[in-house]
Structure 1
């Protein structure tokens, strides 16, 4: 069973307490040229709202780590970026977690890993990838340079804007709405502020596809972008005395593999929307973003127990899993049929909080099993972390030809165990290392 874990106090260890430092930066990554950047059939016709990267640097005096969130549909094998960060900033590659908000109205970046089932990119995508890499590195340089002594707290709320999307209708499984299916409504909020109370960043974790305006043909951060915009605007308008516009809201996608927004554009794929269609969809995007964003702000205001004595842990591992060929997938999907596909696991621990990254779209039931197995009660799951190899359904789901099974690149009986046992083992190892350091 998961347990609460409190770090040993300085009085107990006889050592100086770790002092947290935090810095966060937001930078625009909207492409200058949209040609051939749509990851699915079609072209982007324009920009509705800009895309951003949001980078958080954390250090405890001994360990440095970085969390980066990109307003993109997916980031493939991000190893070259993590290695570049290590070369240029000295932050170890296995201490860096990069995720995408999974807005479907944005490009993809990076290579498709061998065996992965992901959208392929052409020359324009690879050129854009280098632009994004440059801006991520620059943002982390700035975030570390501006890092301040900070304190940290965590809280949870709920938001009912997601719904299970694996629906059985007319004798077959479709992507629809299944209110009876599993769905995690938890909104996780990690709050970082300077010692004088000046807000630095909030990390948001929620399980939903950002597909409210998918099909509009316009660049947009979608639901995740709308939520972050609402949060950041609030801090700019109402946080008295803080530096204007510098509070960053990083969206991390939770177990979204089987989760859709409750309200979306609602048109069949490939059907051109009218301006009225798009107007309603963008209104739904802003409304659902507001619901999540407002809950984040409510929760953040209730987080009053914060600490600057935070020991950071981080590690990553790769589990080779036997490949399964995708079924009934889109024409833009690429899969190299090799023997194994790399399932990448990443972990950042902050005091008694674990951020567990997984390189695919994890479904609800896997997260529920992980939450019950993890040594830490406060365990968040970040999908699409450091790669996007495909959907990652639980083993039981393979009895049904649902979308997450058809789009899974891993044979039954491997992904769920690798995630639950692998992440739990990594967390337990970090706790042992922390206890040994405290002796």
Structure 2
């Protein structure tokens, strides 16, 4: 194993598998049941090591992944990857199932009997994908870059005397497309990681299973690189961000064929914009390094819990005094994936990046759990959606996230 004074030698492998359910019954946690499959959904996995430490990252085309503690322990038992070196996230497409248990105090869609059975299928798929990714590991380099895509927009709007979900052109919105490229020594990409802040809700309401715009973006990246690379989507500060164009109907309303067709054209167009920008950024990354030392860690903080207000009927919340905030870190040299177990709003991401000592800090929402929205402290002056759906009492989550991630970064230093 390398010592702290010796250069790390990065190895990376990636894998992708189809997780489209064969039976859609009981699997849609939001709105009307799934009637058919529009496009397949996938699991994408990355395994990396530097000779001393090994990490795993899994991205799922699902609306949410609940408490992933049990499966991370199972991965450790069966594959030997430490559970605190594993991050599992969901793209947050609203036209796909959820998996996992709901943590005490979390505001999440309650899992059906069918979704819990589907969860076990996905856990098996995770293990298989990680085995494949590990078997495919080879010497690699890492590079990072940032672009811009104007696909997202702030969705918290004051109209008719109340706060609603809408379109706020002037509201805070992080439009950065952050890209991490892992190449083999031949210069060909093994994996492309994309981090962007938007709710994949373009086709919510069509009654069809879909990976939405995140799936389109990943498909474009993978096709561009001749399907030799795996594209992993990680959700950024999505808590207050909507796509610019969606189905455009009231929640629960069924579209006609023309409306659905327009929504899918919007899904393809917006996903292509993000995917094409990710490709442009990836192609422009000229400096890559084989010497990125890997570090990882996790931290769980019990925060005072508050009940949700005016949330969807399908949301469930156990009456508890505290709710677990799960923080995670996957670090490759000066590149950090900072995971938070909820849908984080824009301002918290901005504060974290400003405070981080590293050149590249990517906030990943819905990492290893989804407890609800995570609103910044100032937002509590307005009864907006991200506050009504936040399970944490004001004054606790924002500092816990920033201070907790900084502590994990400090602990990861040689």
Q: What is the TM-score with the length of structure 1 in the denominator? A: 0.93
Measured against aligned partners, the alpha-carbon deviations of 1:310-350 in whole angstroms (never above 9, x if no partner) come to: 11000001000011000001111010011100000000110
- What SS does the corresponding residue of 2:231 show, helix, strand or coil? strand
Provide the residue aligned with 1:47 in structure 2.
Answer: 37
Structure 1 residue 78: deviation in Å?
Answer: 0.6
Provide the residue aligned with 1:247 in structure 2.
Answer: 229
Provide the residue aligned with 1:85 in structure 2.
Answer: 75
5 Å matches for 1:267-346? 267-346=249-328
- What SS does the corresponding residue of 2:288 show, helix, strand or coil? coil
Question: Where does structure 2 lack aligned partners over 5 or more consecutive residues?
Answer: none
Structure 1 residue 41: deviation in Å?
Answer: 3.4
Aligned residue among 344, 348, 354 for 2:336: 354
Aligned residue among 61, 64, 77 for 1:74: 64
- What SS does the corresponding residue of 2:331 show, helix, strand or coil? strand
Structure 1 residue 40: deviation in Å?
Answer: 1.5
Give the direction of change, closer, same or farther, for the CA distance of 1:383–1:340 in structure 2 (3 Å limit): same
Structure 1 residue 98: deviation in Å?
Answer: 0.3
The answer to whether the 8 A contact 2:140-2:185 is kept is: yes
Q: Does 1:133 align with 2:115?
A: no
User: Which whole-Å CA distance do the structure 1 matches of 2:188 and 2:355 have between them?
Assistant: 36
Q: Does 1:363 align with 2:345?
A: yes
Provide the residue aligned with 1:94 in structure 2.
Answer: 84
Q: Does 1:226 align with 2:216?
A: yes
Aligned residues: 413
Q: Find runs of 4+ consecutive structure 1 residues off by over 2 angstroms.
A: 13-16
Structure 1 residue 42: deviation in Å?
Answer: 2.1
Measured against aligned partners, the alpha-carbon deviations of 1:383-407 in whole angstroms (never above 9, x if no partner) come to: 0000000000000000111000000
Aligned residue among 202, 206, 224 for 1:216: 206
User: Which whole-Å CA distance do the structure 2 matches of 1:142 and 1:61 have between them?
Assistant: 19
User: Which whole-Å CA distance do the structure 2 matches of 1:368 and 1:299 have between them?
Assistant: 21
- What SS does the corresponding residue of 1:188 show, helix, strand or coil? strand
Provide the residue aligned with 1:160 in structure 2.
Answer: 150
Q: Does 1:124 align with 2:114?
A: yes
Q: Does 1:112 align with 2:102?
A: yes
Q: Does 1:404 align with 2:386?
A: yes
Question: Where does structure 1 lack aligned partners over 5 or more consecutive residues?
Answer: 1-9, 237-244, 435-439
User: Which whole-Å CA distance do the structure 2 matches of 1:41 and 1:121 have between them?
Assistant: 14
User: Which whole-Å CA distance do the structure 2 matches of 1:140 and 1:83 have between them?
Assistant: 14
Structure 1 residue 59: deviation in Å?
Answer: 0.5
User: Which whole-Å CA distance do the structure 2 matches of 1:187 and 1:198 have between them?
Assistant: 21
Measured against aligned partners, the alpha-carbon deviations of 1:129-174 in whole angstroms (never above 9, x if no partner) come to: 0000000110000100110000110000010000000011111100
Q: What is the TM-score with the length of structure 2 in the denominator? A: 0.98
Aligned residue among 356, 363, 382 for 1:381: 363
